[in-house]
A and B are shown apart, each in its own frame.
Chain A
Amino acid sequence: MILAQVADSTAGNAGVGEAIVFWILGPVALAAAVAMIFARNAVHSALFLVLTMLSLAVLYMMQQAPFLGFVQIIVYTGAVMMLFLFVLMLVGRDSADSVVEVLRGQRVWAAILGLGFALLLVAGVGRTMFAVPSAGLGARAGNGNLTGIGQLVFTEYVWPFELTAALLMTSALGALVLAFAQRKPRERNGQRAAVIARLRGDRISPLPGPGVYATANSVAVPALLPDGSIAPESLSEILEGHEVDETPRPPADGHSLQGRRKELEPPSELASSAIDTAPGRSRPTSASEEER
């Protein structure tokens, strides 16, 4: 109801409904903007910015600019912020900010500067624009909005509009050129060089495979050495620390080769760290909980 009432208002000054929407969404936009600055994670920053932009879009619609409101949602929150998120996912390795201050006192000075600037803007705008009569868009606020903008764009602003086309094309080409990564073909080692490198390395034989199918149905299960201890090299580093469901095992009997191992402590520190969360090890869960 409020929205309908607001959409009807074509006057310059805001009605009650618009005031309600403003006093809800304005603080939301401000709070999200502040949270965007202070969020440690860059992805959280992006999501807070999306919130700010969405509230701004609703404010545009309240402000007799329905076309711009939808363009804001489609272009900004839809396209631009998704682009941001894509790049964050590509770059994301060190998306956390560094805490080291390169310039001393930069943050303090930035805060002081921001406060001063805000005071200046608020005082200036508040004094000069306090009782300015607002004309309102009248018939061009609702259904006439899009036709009015179209008329202006294709008559008065046709030259900037054409330039916009050139700008968009240039930026698309520029992005292509900048983001294009030519992959150089890697130099391949010959067989002889590969053999020498392997013989001079730490390990001649290939790494043991994981214990898949031996005791459980998962690559996160380590392989066992002949003495029943765990082969730490059989686990991929990526899998470390991931919980995996263990398939139920048959009870151990003396004749089967896969019989239950003795409760061996892992032979070395490395093994214990690699195996701690792996399920292949049959130790009571309460003990492992305590260890964490």
Chain B
Amino acid sequence: MSPTNYLLLSGLLFTIGAVGVLVRRNAIVVFMCIELMLNAVNLSLVTFARINGTLDGQVMAFFVMVVAAAEVVVGLAIIMSIFRTRRSSSVDDANLLKY
């Protein structure tokens, strides 16, 4: 089995995450879909590291994980503060900048 299968799996997971971001309304679930996309990219980075025979891809995946952790913390804090003011976690309700 060639490592290409991992890339295909990664692509499919990324697609599922992207569709989830477009379809779901709950901000937290949208956020989870973004996490899924980041994970898919990590899988492809790890596969590339293996194909190239260097560790750089794994280091990049490591950095992606760090950035994702920071992003999750800030994003969830934003969702919570929006929920506190608007009593809703739906992405449709946060339309204050619209008018």
Contacts and interface: CB of A to CB of B under 8 A. Distances in A.
Interface in A43-97: 45-46, 49, 52-53, 56, 59-60, 63-65, 67-68, 71-72, 75-76, 79-80, 83-84, 87-88, 90-91, 93-97
Interface stretch (A12-20, A234-242, A262-270): A12-20
Given A98-B25, A110-B23, A87 B18 contact: no
B51 to A, nearest CB: 5
Interface in A110-149: 110-111, 113-114, 117-118, 121-122, 125-126, 129-132, 134-138, 140, 145, 148-149
A247 B38 CA distance: 56
B3 A87 contact: no
Main DSSP-derived SS at the A contact region: helix
Contact of A68 (B13, B61, B80): B61
Q: Interface residues of B toward A: which range?
A: 35 or more
Contacts of A209: none
Interface in B11-33: 11-20, 22-26, 28-29, 31-33
B3 A153 contact: no
Contacts of A106: 22-23
A67 B58 contact: yes
Interface stretch (A25-33, A195-203, A217-225, A283-291): A25-33
Interface residues of A, number: 88
A75 B7 CA distance: 23
A258 interface: no
A69 B17 CA distance: 21
A57 to B, nearest CB: 10
Contact of B2 (A13, A71, A149): A13
B74 A59 contact: no
A107 interface: yes
30 contacts: A14-B3, A26-B5, A33-B13, A33-B36, A36-B36, A37-B24, A53-B39, A56-B39, A59-B6, A67-B62, A83-B76, A90-B83, A98-B25, A107-B23, A110-B23, A117-B18, A118-B11, A121-B14, A130-B2, A134-B51, A135-B50, A138-B53, A140-B55, A148-B55, A149-B62, A153-B62, A156-B56, A167-B67, A171-B71, A178-B80
Interface of A: 12-14, 18-19, 22, 26, 29-30, 33-34, 36-37, 42, 45-46, 49, 52-53, 56, 59-60, 63-65, 67-68, 71-72, 75-76, 79-80, 83-84, 87-88, 90-91, 93-98, 102, 106-107, 109-111, 113-114, 117-118, 121-122, 125-126, 129-132, 134-138, 140, 145, 148-149, 152-153, 156-157, 160, 164, 167-168, 170-172, 174-175, 178-179, 181
Across the A-B interface, the 8 shortest Cβ-Cβ residue pairs:
A135-B53, A114-B19, A121-B11, A171-B70, A178-B77, A110-B22, A19-B1, A175-B77
